[in-house]
Structure 1
Amino acid sequence: MAMGKTPGNRDDEGDEGVFAEINITPLTDIFLVLLIIFMVTSTVIVQQGPGGGAKAGLKVNLPKGGATDVTARSTDLSVAVLADGRYVLSGNVVTTDELKAAFDKARTENPETLVIVQADEGVPHGTVVQVMELAKKAGLAQLAIGVRDGE
């Protein structure tokens, strides 16, 4: 705080007082400079993303799968989703009801059963989610996505 005569005091007694007012102009300047720095750096970060622009966060670069990610056990259940939307379980094409029954049976045999969903590249995301939801409703909480080797 600055020392000096208080405003409005016309006495020349030589008493020095404390200013009662705070000058907020320097504080406002600092905040505006910080705001500008934040805006510039956030714009640079968004533009450096893949694809650039405001939609840079929408692109997904999926990682390549490795053979060591998930090792299938004999108790695990592998479900393949074909490009036309059919489900394959143990080499046989099954319906949704048969898939539910298989999930229920797997849960009663071993509640820690891992469900591995192997979907064709052309399968819509919603179909894969439906299979995963069927497994979760049956009580199988351990889910994995099967991928090809990244080599």
Structure 2
Amino acid sequence: MAFTNSSARGAELNVTPLIDILLVLLIIFMVITPPKTLGLSAALPQPGGDPPTNSPADRSVVIQLDGDSNLRINTEPIRLPDLGARLLDIFKTRAERVVFVQARADTEFQYVAQVVDIAKGASIDHVGLLTARLDDGR
């Protein structure tokens, strides 16, 4: 900080270096602050892999959702309010908590997001989305 002494005005403070320091600190804090992430995280299946086998040893859980918001876990029909409790019951003895959500093309996204939210609330680690293209082998 520099002081200048003029006989007419008295001591005057030079604030230019203070503004420079303030701007540098502002930039540093903007860079190191992590961005806020919004939305639902989901793992999408990658095309070109081997098709899944339908053996009895396959213990994958697929939540199927049609356009009328009817739910099924694999082949078992279930109501939306009972979904969280049923998922907790299914995964209470499993170490790997992975669920796939399959919805028809005419299903509104809010229903899919609600199912993913319920699955995350039931302590499911990974929620994957199944698409019709990958099911058809395209």
Normalised by the length of structure 2, the TM-score is 0.54
Aligned counterpart, 1:118: 102
Structure possessing the higher radius of gyration over alpha carbons: 1
Match of 1:78, SS? Answer: strand
Q: Is the 8 A contact 2:45 2:129 kept in 1?
A: no
Amino acid at match of 2:76: N
Match of 2:107, SS? Answer: coil
Q: In 2, distance between residues paired with 1:67 and 1:135?
A: 27
Cα RMSD for the two superposed structures: 2.7
- In structure 2, the CA distance between the partners of 1:64 and 1:143, relative to structure 1 (3 Å rule), is closer
4+ residue stretches of structure 1 with deviation over 4 A? 69-73
Distance apart, 1:64 and its partner CA? 9.7
Higher RCO, Cα 8 Å, sep 6+: 2
Amino acid at match of 2:75: G
Amino acid at match of 1:137: G
Show structure 2 runs of 5+ residues with no match: 1-43
Q: Find the partner of 1:66 among 47, 61, 65.
A: 47
Aligned counterpart, 2:62: 78
Normalised by the length of structure 1, the TM-score is 0.50
Match of 1:108, SS? Answer: coil
Distance apart, 1:76 and its partner CA? 2.1
Distance apart, 1:91 and its partner CA? 1.5
What is the aligned-residue identity percentage?
Answer: 18
Match of 2:92, SS? Answer: helix
Aligned residues: 89
Distance apart, 1:66 and its partner CA? 2.4
Point out the structure with the larger strand share. Answer: 2
Distance apart, 1:77 and its partner CA? 1.1
Distance apart, 1:109 and its partner CA? 1.6
- In structure 2, the CA distance between the partners of 1:99 and 1:64, relative to structure 1 (3 Å rule), is closer
Residue 92 (1) aligns with residue 88 (2): no
